[in-house]
Structure 1
Amino acid sequence: MPRIFDFGGREVERSVTVASLRALKGSGRHVAQVTAETADEAAAAEVAGIEMVVCRAANIAKVREGSKKIFVTAALGFADAITAEEVLRTAFSAIVAGADAVITGRGWDTVKMLAAEQIPVMGHLGFVPRKSTWVGGVRAVGKSTGEALELFDRFRRLEDAGAFAVECEVIPAAVMAELNRRTGLVTVSLGSGPDADVIFLFTSDICGEAKRLPRHARAWGNLASLHQQVRDERVKALSGFRADVASGGFPGEGETAKIPDEELTKFRAALDGVEK
């Protein structure tokens, strides 16, 4: 496992680095990326052998509590940092806290600004949910020749801006394969087929937490049923508590503190003396 110094100046081990991710190009090898927002999720990902996670920038410290080794990408939210100064401050705060890269769906100037500081930047192309009004709905992007060519141009512009990687969301697999062969960017496939350098799915989908599974996802677990059991057990327990309060069954002898009889007698006598 590579040893590096992170942006906080700490000597650390990482499952992958920017350099090793770039070396994936043309190798036929893949690494896996999932989401993690808590220490528990990050720890589980590390134990499972996942190499990369992505989380909100504000949760970097929590994620690093769970894993010191996974490559962590911090998502810069649209509303979290708006001006150039805010974006730069948020990005530096994230990488100093332990992130290895940042991801942004902002424009080329933002990518250039971050890349100029040698902050590893991941872009986001294809179907970008928050920008879906531009494509008219929730759908794959690049299904026509014109749209696929426009997407290729965006890949080139993102690479020219200095990004090292790009999240490729819901792009037709055959188009993704052609784009991957023609870009120096590390490609991260979310619903865009197997011909990318990194394969990405949301942890909630993998673990079966979502009510509706996206078409591009697969569940290997069924946490939804466990969450329902927890909810049912919580209601059962609360209902039992309420019923025992109503019936006088709680608190009982075992749940109340006691005072020795002689001390209670003295206490009552003292009270009587105060009240006179």
Structure 2
Amino acid sequence: MKRIYDWDARSVLRNYTAADLKALKGQRKLTQTTANSVEEAAAARDAGIDLIMGNAQNTKAVREGAPDMFFTAALGLPDYPTETDVLRAAFAAMKDGADSIYTARGPHIVEMLAREDIPVMCHLGLVPRKSTWKGGLRAIGKTAEEALELWAAFRRMEDAGAFAVEAEVICADVMAEISKRTSLVTSSLGSGDGADIIYLFQTDICGETPDRPRHARAFGDLHSLNKLVAAQRLEALSRFREAVQVGEYPTHQEKTTAGGSNFKEFLQGMTTSRDSTG
């Protein structure tokens, strides 16, 4: 663990720093997943995952669950349209304990954040929200021309000051060669095993949905468990309603009564009160 001061001047521990990640490039494969709640962050930490990333607005919750993990706060593409919006959100996330900021915006936004000494993770390859420019959701770099365009985009992000990149659904052989040559710490989301970090959404890892992209593998089956939970919830609520309707709930064991002389005194008092006001 490394001791650092975060952006709110708190002395804290971190499993990695931005400098560590740059020094480890090409030396050791790291793992990364998403975390957007106390529970998800704590699970990632307890499982020994190296790095986590989640929505910037969830930074405080993530920090509660994983106080010492390197956390990248993601600024949602449509949520912060102006440069002022982006900068304000980035500073707020860093103040709440984020270690770096993710953005799917262009080099001009990366450069603006990097000028403030914020460690910036950019996004290259398939950016799903911009997939209309790619003709849909598909792997990037299948042709030499497209792979060279991608390499040029990596260099532009280097020049803009990014320190890391989420590299999504890039052809694995292309990704491996780019990762060797770029100074960016590369995080592969569906881009093979040639990057510095292997990244997968926690929902996919845990099998929370029946449908997953081709690159994702489920290592658990929370979807089936959640279906069982939903079925149990419905059954319990239905049985409660039926029990009330037929008079089976509440029973004697589930009620408390005053009883005895206290109850008689109460009834007498009610009668006396009614007579006196009648």
Matched, 1:186 2:185: yes
User: 1:268, CA displacement in angstroms?
Assistant: 1.8
Aligned amino acid, residue 76 of structure 1: L
Opposite residue 12 of structure 2, the aligned amino acid is V
**Matching of residues 212-223 of structure 1 within 5 Å:** 212-223=211-222
Residue by residue over 1:104-158, the C-alpha shift from the partner in whole angstroms, topping out at 9 and shown as x without a partner, is: 0112111111000000000001111111111111111111111111111111111
Q: Deviations over 1:57-100 (max 9, x none)?
A: 01000011111111000000123322211111110110111100
1:105-184 equivalence runs, <5 A: 105-184=104-183
SS in 2 for 1:23: helix
Counterparts in 2 of 1:201-216, with a 5 A limit? 201-216=200-215
Quote how far apart the aligned CAs of 1:245 are.
0.9
Secondary structure of 2:67 counterpart: coil
Secondary structure of 1:248's aligned partner:
coil
| CA deviation profile, 1:192-222 (whole Å, cap 9, x unmatched) | 0111111100111111112112211111111
Counterpart residue type for residue 20 of structure 1: D
Alignment partners' CA distance in 2, 1:194 and 1:78 = 27
Counterpart of 1:10 in structure 2 is 10
State the alpha-carbon separation in 1 of the partners of residues 272 and 122 from structure 2.
Answer: 79
Deviation at 1:55, TM superposition (A): 0.5
Matched, 1:99 2:98: yes
Which amino acid in the other structure matches residue 13 of structure 1? L
Number of residue pairs matched by the alignment: 275
User: Bigger shift: 188-197 or 209-218?
Assistant: 209-218
The alignment's TM-score, normalised by the length of structure 2, stands at 0.96
Q: Which residue of 1 aligns with 2:262?
A: 263
- Match in the other structure for 2:38: 39
d(CA) in 2 for partners of 1:231 and 1:79? Answer: 32
Q: How does 1:57-68 map to 2 (within 5 A)?
A: 57-68=56-67
Aligned-partner residue type, residue 243 of structure 2:
D
Q: Distance in 1 between matches of 2:269 and 2:67?
A: 62
Letter in 2 for 1:12: V
- Give the letter aligned to residue 25 of structure 2: K
DSSP 3-state at the match of 1:200: strand
- The TM-score, its normalising length taken from structure 1, stands at 0.96
Is 1:226 equivalent to 2:242 in the alignment?
A: no
Give the aligned residue type for 1:213: R
Name stretches of at least 5 consecutive residues in structure 2 with no aligned partner.
Answer: none
Once the two structures are superposed, what CA deviation does each residue of 1:31-51 show, in whole Å capped at 9, x if it has no partner?
Answer: 110001111111111111111
Matched to 2:264, the amino acid is: T
Structure 2 letter corresponding to 1:141: I
Give the match for residue 19 of structure 1: 19
Read off the aligned partner of 2:261 and give its amino acid letter: E
Deviation at 1:163, TM superposition (A): 0.5
Alignment-mate amino acid for residue 8 of structure 1: D
Please report the RMSD computed on the Cα atoms of aligned residues, expressed in angstroms: 1.2
